Chain A
Amino acid sequence: MEYRTIEELLNLAEQENTSLAEIVLRVEMEESELSRNEIEELMLDNLEVMRQSISRGINNKIKTGGGLVGQEALKMKNYYQKDKQDFTIHNKVISYALAVAEVNAGMGKIIAGPTAGASGIVPAVVVALAEELELKDHKVIEALFTASGLGYVISKKATLSGAAGGCQAECGAAAAMAAGAAVELKGGNPKMVVNAFALALKNMLGLVCDPVAGLVEVPCVKRNAFAAAHALTASAMARAGIESVIPADEVINAMTDIGEQMPNTLKETSKGGLAVCETALKIKDELFNN
């Protein structure tokens, strides 16, 4: 059994009358020659690391390499804990995504899913929703398998590297993976998962990678929060039955196309965009020339 496109993944799930997560797990068993139990244990370990990074980020000031961020998650948590009206899943997801991204920027331990720079998005959506829905860990990792399978197809058909495809390939891909995972957690069918994925990715197309001073801090940390919120939007639309007019695989192809046309100055070289604006250059100078 194998899948190289989202359509193949979806077809397999529909033929076998099961979830995308189950197909992803079965293919991984074949590929790795590990047992179901061993693979589930590995994913449970990843879930634990995700939770630890969230907890560290929302409860502590983080000292980052460039010091441009470090207490965003803490501020967000303090904000929504003050007033019950603000205590929404949306705000919680934002705080969790900020938390992981800040821990990453501060040389903390994270799961690079799919990349370190976009490591806040999938954990934020999956862990916050799991808390909200009071799901058992074995159910939660199903969403991580789904997200992995979706990301796997992007890695095969396109790229998950900002240097090769811009931020659309990192935060864009992560948002799409998280959107699919959110649908899975909420009990949506495989088709809805795929639509959520396509909707989320489609609306992150064209995103460039222009980090200030070459650091994974600005705009990366806050962008993780925006992308996580974006995933929630896509998952809600898909669960409402809204479909992506452009099929998921074609959206991935478009991403590749856009990535190839994107100038190198906007692909993790810090030679264009935000990275060369006045304030960014000043920050860079202060950080590295003193």
Chain B
Amino acid sequence: MGIFEIMGPAMIGPSSSHTAGAARIGRMAALLFAEKIDKAVVKLHGSFADTAVGHGTDKAIIGGLLGFKPDDERLRDSFSWAEKKGMDYLIEEIKLRDVHPNTALIELSNQSTAQSISVLAASIGGGSIEVREINASPVKLTGRLPTLWIRHKDRPGEIALITTVLGEHQINIAFMQVYRNRRGDIGSSILELDQKPPQAVLDQLEKCKDIYQLRYLPAL
């Protein structure tokens, strides 16, 4: 942690957890979806639901979904920006079990490709966030470092293949997590990196036959 986390960040108020963190959650969800968002359903839980309006949590998440960063003045008017950019949105309350008090469940969809995603994320304090589920599968994604989210076949040697490609390009892995729902099914790996990987790395990984999906998520 550096001094600019103490004297900063620059952000739109009033709350680092309920506004800045909320904007980051929206932005992370949009980056994970990586398609144009036609419709967004945002379900707020706990303290997020109780004080959303006063803290601008709803506006911040919608702004984040439009790609606005926590210091973007457009967050205040994000509802009208959503209209301008053709993003339908719905904000609801939800009661979830065993989650952080500041949690949002976000469902995004694109009509023409019929793709959708659901992202469960929490604002854990000071503007820091954690994505805890993607499409109901558990993950832990913080956006603190440049991150790769890779969905691949769950088979021996797949992780070695990914890390070899990164190693060949001198990309250091700071943290790494591997998940799967069922043996031999689709696994997903989250790799937090010390530097931004060049496009060549992403291209090379995407060509691997057992990699189904790859997302590069810049540090938030």
Contacts and interface: CB of A to CB of B under 8 A. Distances in A.
B6 A155 contact: yes
B10 interface: yes
Nearest to B6: A151
A230 B15 CA distance: 23
B6 A288 contact: no
B75 interface: yes
A70 interface: no
B12 interface: yes
A164 B16 CA distance: 14
A152 B8 contact: no
Contacts of B167: none
A106 B77 CA distance: 12
Interface string A10-29: 00000000000000100010
Given A32-B2, A161-B126, A113 B8 contact: yes
B137 interface: no
Contacts of B14: 64-65, 104-107, 116-117, 215-217
Interface string A48-72: 0100000000000000111000000
B125 A152 contact: no
Given A116-B13, A163-B125, A214-B50, A109 B7 contact: no
A169 to B, nearest CB: 11
Contact of A65 (B2, B4, B9, B53): B53
Interface residues of B, number: 34
Interface string B49-60: 011011110010
Contact of A215 (B4, B8, B51, B59): B51
Contacts of B53: 65, 287-288
- Sorting the interface of chain A by its residue count into under 10, 10 to 19, 20 to 34 or 35 or more gives 35 or more
Contacts of B51: 213-215
A52 to B, nearest CB: 10
Contact of B7 (A144, A161, A214, A216): A144
A213 B6 contact: no
A254 B51 CA distance: 31
Contacts of B2: 28, 31-32
Nearest to A113: B7
Contacts of A42: 4
Contacts of B7: 43, 46, 111, 113-114, 122, 144, 147-148, 151
Nearest to A68: B54
A128 interface: no
A197 interface: no
B67 to A, nearest CB: 17
B125 A107 contact: no
B47 to A, nearest CB: 7
Contacts of B35: none
A287 B53 CA distance: 9
A246 interface: no
A109 B12 contact: yes
A64 B158 CA distance: 52
A28 to B, nearest CB: 5
B52 to A, nearest CB: 9
B13 A155 contact: no
B13 A108 contact: yes
A64 B50 CA distance: 17
A111 B55 contact: no
Contact of A152 (B3, B50, B71): B3
A214 B57 CA distance: 13
Contacts of B75: 107
A145 interface: yes
A114 B12 CA distance: 14
B73 interface: yes
A28 B51 CA distance: 36
Given A109-B12, A111-B11, 5 more contacts: A65-B53, A106-B14, A107-B12, A155-B5, A160-B6
28 contacts: A28-B3, A42-B4, A43-B7, A66-B54, A106-B14, A107-B76, A108-B76, A110-B10, A112-B10, A112-B11, A114-B7, A115-B126, A116-B14, A116-B15, A117-B14, A144-B7, A149-B3, A155-B6, A163-B125, A213-B51, A213-B54, A215-B14, A216-B13, A216-B55, A217-B14, A287-B53, A288-B50, A288-B54
